Structures are given as structure tokens and as C-alpha cells.
Structure 1
Amino acid sequence: MTTDFQQSRQALGRRLRELRGPRTQRDLAAVLGWPQAKVSKLETGRQTAAAEDVMAWAQATGHPAATEELVARLQGLETRTRSWRRQLRAGHRPVQDVLTIEYEQSAVLRAWEGAMVVGMLQTADYARAMFTRYAELHQAPKDIDEAVRARVRRQQLLFEPGRQFHIVMWEAAMYADVAPPEVLAAQIDRLGTLIGLDTVTLGIVPFGARLSIPPANGFWLYDDRLAIVEDWHAELWIDDPDSVALYRRVWDTLDASAVYGTSVRRILARARARFADLV
């Protein structure tokens, strides 16, 4: 959880405590029908409130006029940190649709991924395996086929003139055994077809490359105006200029260790041979 996010959550908690006034946490919990522990966690910033929580809080404390303010504060939190628990209540398809809007509004996109093939370059079968694994992890509705179709449709942006995709991945992503061998082999073949496409630049940081920083979380940069970073519990949507600039430096640093063109083809061929032996 980011420091900025936690500080904002604590600030919201202090505001909730202020609205509670002289009554005890136990009294307010009784009015709301909540465990006292929930009131305590919200006030101390140890739990993120839902919109219905802050609306109920404003009513129960006798401050209905504060509802709009509290909801706005909460939306500010969600702008930075979008928990998977909340995003996936309706499945993966709505998440894909929201991301597509950001892609469509951007001309230059940069990605770093060390754990798997980035979504924009995934085959349908590979994407299906990813959505299935994450739906199981987060116990989310399994709208897998709709999510796959949404992701594949977005990939049409790869072929639109005037857009540039600069994608860097770690070689380890080629070997992540997250799908059947035939799916992984086909995925590697797909990557090979994208080399030389005038809208896509594909770099791979090879095993053994000298690294100036660890190959940590995957992220996307949208026109250097927005960074979207994936963590296990949430997506971080970061738009303050200093933080976006930091992610750009991270991308540039990892890109400096990447290889391109013929060297990428050799890496793909090695990975392809491994999975071909397993088919």
C-alpha cells in the first residue's frame, strides 16, 4: 500500500472521528449495526471504507451534509488505489473496458513486465489462462470469455497508425509455466510476429543482463501522464507528475538492460524450443 494512500486513508479516518463527536465508538457501532472493531479500523485508517459506509456514517452521526465531502474523499482514495476486491465484484470484463479508455486516449505507451507476457501481446488462450488464475485467486465472478474478447479487441490498437507501444519484458516471463505447453508455445510464436511492426518496439531483458535496479512490479505508462501499477491487492493509478516521472526513470533504466531485434528472436527461439519439447 502506498504511503500517499495510507496517509489519505488516515486523514479520512480523522474526519470520521471528528464527525462522531462525543459519542463512543460502541454507541455509534450500535446505531450502524456494525462491530465496534469496524468503527475503530475506519477511524484509524486500518480499513478502507466503502461508499455506503461513509454515507451511513454521515447519517448516523447527524451530519448528512457531510455525505458529499466524505464520498469525494473516498473517490480520491480510489483514484490512487483501486482494490481488486472492489473492481472484480462484477468480473474482469468491466476492468478491461476501463483500461481500454486509457489506451485509446494515449499515443505513446510504455510497459514493463517481469512475470508474464503483457496483456496487449497475449493470445486469446494465454489471456484465458491468466484471467482464470486471477479469478480463482480473488474469488471473482468468472466472466472469462467476455474478458478475453475485450482484451483481444483492445489489441487492435497495436495496428493503428500514430500510436507507439514500447514494451520491455524480463526473459523470465517467457518461461512462466502458467498455461499448457501448447498455449505457451503459441504465445511465444505470437511475440515473434510482432517484431518489426512499426507501432511496437519489443525489448527483453535477458537472463544474466546487468541490472541497475531489481525487475520488480509490472506497470504501464500512458503518455507520461499516468502510471498504472499492478500489485496483488490492487491497481495503483498514479498521476502526480513526480511519481509518474519516477516510473519513467524505472522504465528507462530497465530498458537500458534490454536487447532488441535479432537478439529477441534468439531468446524467443530458446524459450519456444523448451515448450515444444513438452507438447
Structure 2
Amino acid sequence: MTPLGIRQYDGKILSRNKETGVSNVDEARMALGGRLRELRVAAEVSGKQLAESLSWQPSKVSKIENGKQTPSSDDIREWARATNSEDETAGLLASLHTLEVQRAEWQRVLRGGIRPRQNALAELDQKTRLFRVFEAGVIPGLLQTSEYARARFAEAIRIYKLKNDINEAVAGRMKRQDIFYRPDKQFHFVLTEAALRFRMCSLPVMLGQLDRLVSLSALPNVKLGIIGFETQYTASPWHGFWIFDDEKVLVETFSAGLNLPQPEEIELYSTIFNELASVASYGRAARAVITRVIDDLSKQSPAQ
């Protein structure tokens, strides 16, 4: 890592934003806004006039055109109608759909509850043969016990003020784990020791979760790597990410899930995953780290 936040791999220099896919999303939003501005200018309509005709705040037009706000499908249709460019509607909506797929905002994605999101992920699971997953601070969903998953969903419901379908969501996540027993699926998980120690649920739940990791690590199609605290990293563990085959990368932030389908993005994240995987411990060594954490947490349990 350089002082300017630039990382170089294989002679390629990439900005920090590029690594998280943020630049691609911003560029797509700005491109859409620029196209909408062109249609407004061609129609000889000022931003103020357009806003008034659509009963919008004047600032909304400016925010959309400058890529500061993502328009809705209705916004696109109304804009095209107001600028006499309805023949452009289909193309504009296609651009919006691409943007929405790249940046799935949680408030929009989870509007109908958490279970539909689990259903969508289950569909992706069915299409994927090789899962490569890195998590720095949380146990990945596919590895979670029902109690740990319930704690994570309760957090999401509280923070995002979502519909409470927690029982259905937990059932959906547990159902997804059936794919572990399909021989055509391969899984490679890399977790930091911090992910095993963060107190994100009660001690009994966390102890059960760690025991579950030990059990799953014994499955023939599961490769579980643990990066202990004493390990010297060769790549910074900035954030978690999932790589589905060589088709897409999913990065989850507090505000949205970033879907990164570009070959150069997949290549970059594959390189980073390999760097992290190369310093992880596997097999008995990985289980030794988990057992060490279990012993430490057990000493803190009131039952002991």
C-alpha cells in the first residue's frame, strides 16, 4: 500500500475506489445523468422548468444530472415524457437496471423483508460451482448456525427498520446450506481470527458457531482457512467479499451490495483472495486456532 492509497498488482495500478467497484458504479450513474441532461438540453428545457413540470424540487434535477442521485424507473419515464424523448425510455431503463444490479441498495433490496434476499442468493448458489469467500469480521452466511444467523438478521432489521420476517429469513439461510452436500460444489473460505472472536452474539451462540466451523471444515468439498493474529499479511484485509466462479464478485457495504462482473475486477479480487489464502492455516492448524478461541471464550462463560 502506498501513502496515496494506491495498490499495485502485476504491474497494474488501481485506485482504492476501483478495488471496491465504487468507481464503476459512480461512472455508470454519472453517464446516465449525463444522457438525461443531453435530452433536457436538446428539448430546450431548463432544469428549473423540468422540475416544475414534474413537481420536483429543483435540486433533484441537478442531483440526477450530476450523478449524485439515482433516478427511479418512474423518474426516467417522466423525464423522457417531459423532454419529448419517449423513444429513449427503453434504453434509459436498461442503463438504470444495469446500475441497480451493480449497486443493490439495502433499503431498496430489503424493502419486502430479508427472506426474498435469501431466495435470490439461493438462486445464485445453484448456478455457482466454486465459491471463494473472504471475511475479516463476520462468519459467512453459508457457515452460520441458525442462532448466529438470527443475531445477524435482528441487527439488520433494527438498523434498516425492516419488515420482521426473521423466522423465514433464518429458515432460508439454513436451507441454502443444503448445497454443502452436493459433490459438484466446491467451497474455499478464508476467515481472520478476528471474525472468530468478535462478540456479535451471546457467548453460548458464539461457542456453538465455532463448533459448527470445526464440523464443516471436515467436509470433503470445503476448504477452510484461518488467518491467526500472529500471521504476517501480504494483502490488507480491508473488507469481505465473495467470488462466484469467475462470473462475479459480491462486496457488501453498510449501504449496499456491490455486484462486480467486469473481468478485470474478478481478476483483481481473485489475486487478492489468493494472497490472503496463501497465509491462512488449514486442516489441523486451522482447527487449532478455532479450538484456541473456543477455550478462551469458554473461560469467559458464566457457566464455567
TM-score over 0.5 for the pair? yes
Pairing partner for 2:31 from 8, 11, 14: 11
User: Percent of pairs identical after alignment?
Assistant: 36
- Rounded to whole Å, the distance in 2 between the matches of 1:30 and 1:140 is 33
1:90 counterpart SS class: coil
The alpha carbon displacement at 1:138 in A equals 2.0
- Rounded to whole Å, the distance in 1 between the matches of 2:264 and 2:69 is 27
- Rounded to whole Å, the distance in 2 between the matches of 1:38 and 1:208 is 51
**Structure-2-length-normalised TM-score:** 0.89
Which amino acid in structure 2 is aligned with residue 79 of structure 1? V
- Rounded to whole Å, the distance in 2 between the matches of 1:50 and 1:59 is 14
- Rounded to whole Å, the distance in 2 between the matches of 1:56 and 1:139 is 30
| 73-82 or 36-45, which deviates more | 73-82
Give the aligned partner of residue 76 of structure 1: 98
- Rounded to whole Å, the distance in 2 between the matches of 1:85 and 1:274 is 38
Give the aligned partner of residue 301 of structure 2: 278
The alpha carbon displacement at 1:278 in A equals 2.0
- Rounded to whole Å, the distance in 1 between the matches of 2:251 and 2:152 is 17
- Within 5 Å, give how 1:220-231 maps onto structure 2: 220-231=242-253
Which amino acid in structure 2 is aligned with residue 5 of structure 1? V
Which amino acid in structure 1 is aligned with residue 268 of structure 2? L
1:167 counterpart SS class: strand
- Within 5 Å, give how 1:1-279 maps onto structure 2: 2-21=22-41, 22-276=44-298, 277-279=300-302
Aligned length: 279
| 10-19 or 60-69, which deviates more | 60-69
The CA RMSD measured in Å over matched residues stands at 1.2
2:110 counterpart SS class: helix
- Rounded to whole Å, the distance in 1 between the matches of 2:207 and 2:246 is 33
| 106-115 or 74-83, which deviates more | 74-83
Residue deviations 1:8-51 (CA, integer Å, cap 9, x gap)? 11111111111213222111111111111111100110111111
Residue deviations 1:181-203 (CA, integer Å, cap 9, x gap)? 11111101111111221011111
**Structure-1-length-normalised TM-score:** 0.97
Residue deviations 1:87-133 (CA, integer Å, cap 9, x gap)? 11111111111111111111111100011100000000100100111
- Rounded to whole Å, the distance in 1 between the matches of 2:98 and 2:287 is 44
- Rounded to whole Å, the distance in 2 between the matches of 1:111 and 1:273 is 26
Residue deviations 1:215-267 (CA, integer Å, cap 9, x gap)? 11111111122111111111111111111011100100000110011112221
Contact 1:13 1:45 in 2 (8 A): yes
For structure 2, the 5+ residue unaligned runs are: 1-20
Give the aligned partner of residue 16 of structure 2: none
- Rounded to whole Å, the distance in 1 between the matches of 2:206 and 2:243 is 26
- Rounded to whole Å, the distance in 1 between the matches of 2:178 and 2:38 is 51
